[in-house]
Amino acid sequence: MRRRDRTSSRSRGPFLAGVGALAFAVLGGCETVVTEYHRRPGFYKLASETELKNESTSYDGRRLVFIEDGVLPSEAAEIEAERVAKEERAAKERDRLRRAAIAAGQPIPPEAMEPKPRKAFEAREVLDDGTVVFRAVFPEHVIGNVMSCLRNQEYVELWEQVVAESTRRQYSADGGGLEEFVGWCVRNRSELMMSLNRMSFGYYGGSDVIIDRLPDRSVRVRFSPQLGSRFKFREVSVIQERDGMKLGGIR
């Protein structure tokens, strides 16, 4: 397989704020298939009278993938290259400072020491004492954390760490609490897992899962009308709070 990359900064339509293209050519007579990545502001979905799909095919056979308020593949490569170059410059500067300190017979300064490696992000972490800690930076982390809690029957952790504070307050105001929440999770565990599993499967591609980024920075993940009728639960709302993204609700 021969891979050819090309990018373009021109918009190809009124809704396009950026575009990148990736073309695949298979030797042996197969025609070239071109995939173009377009950036589309999230509020266009709110303003459009018709449903805007995340992926489509143009009249000439090009595969069009729309990324809402996100980073195009070509831009991601540039960001990564800039990060690597920055780390290389920092390493050279630390080496210079160490050499200078040794030559002068002085202690090596703190800024010349190798930095501690960053701890990899973990959406679900089990501490030494067995405590489970959940974190979420993106909506997909929230969906994954809900699935993990349901799978392991960690309903208290789900309520206390994953569900948004505003949702817990509203639930309590309506006469509910932890006990009622756990009961709801137990009764609907199978249907919830089926819906969330399908959402996570289609989150990054295709048109079966629709992601709406709303002006208040919340996110709504929902099934397309064609798929939604197959599931009891069809929509997940995710809320941005001070300590990360949280579950706003499932319906």
Closest CA to 247 of 187, 177, 186, 196: 196
Do residue 47 and residue 163 come from a single domain?
A: no
Instruction: Give the structural domain span for 203.
Output: 124-250
Q: Give the model confidence (pLDDT) of 158-202 as tens digits.
A: 999 999 999 999 998 999 899 999 999 999 999 999 999 998 888
Do residue 97 and residue 26 come from a single domain?
A: no
Do residue 65 and residue 84 come from a single domain?
A: no
Choose one of 86, 112, 138: the last residue of a domain. 112
Tell me if 118 is assigned to some domain: no
Tell me if 50 is assigned to some domain: yes
Do residue 142 and residue 231 come from a single domain?
A: yes
Q: What is the pLDDT along the chain (251 residues), one digit of tens a residue?
A: 433 444 333 333 333 344 444 444 444 445 666 777 666 655 555 555 566 677 777 777 777 776 765 555 666 778 788 888 998 999 999 999 999 989 998 888 888 888 877 778 889 999 999 999 999 999 999 999 999 999 999 999 999 999 999 999 999 899 989 999 999 999 999 999 999 999 888 877 778 899 998 888 899 999 999 898 999 999 999 999 988 999 999 99
Q: Which residue has the tokens 């980073």?
A: 71
Do residue 135 and residue 214 come from a single domain?
A: yes
* Cβ density class 80-108: b for 16+ within 10 Å, e for less: eeeeeeeeeeeeeebeebbeeeeeeeeee
How many domains does the chain fold into?
A: 3
SS (H, E, C) 213-242: ECCCCCEEEEECHHHHCCCCCCEEEEEEEC
- Total Cβ atoms within 10 A of residue 165: 12
Do residue 145 and residue 231 come from a single domain?
A: yes
Tell me if 119 is assigned to some domain: no
Do residue 65 and residue 163 come from a single domain?
A: no
Do residue 129 and residue 245 come from a single domain?
A: yes
Do residue 45 and residue 79 come from a single domain?
A: no
Choose one of 90, 112, 134: the last residue of a domain. 112
Distance CA 210, CA 199 (A): 9
Structure tokens at 181: 């929440």
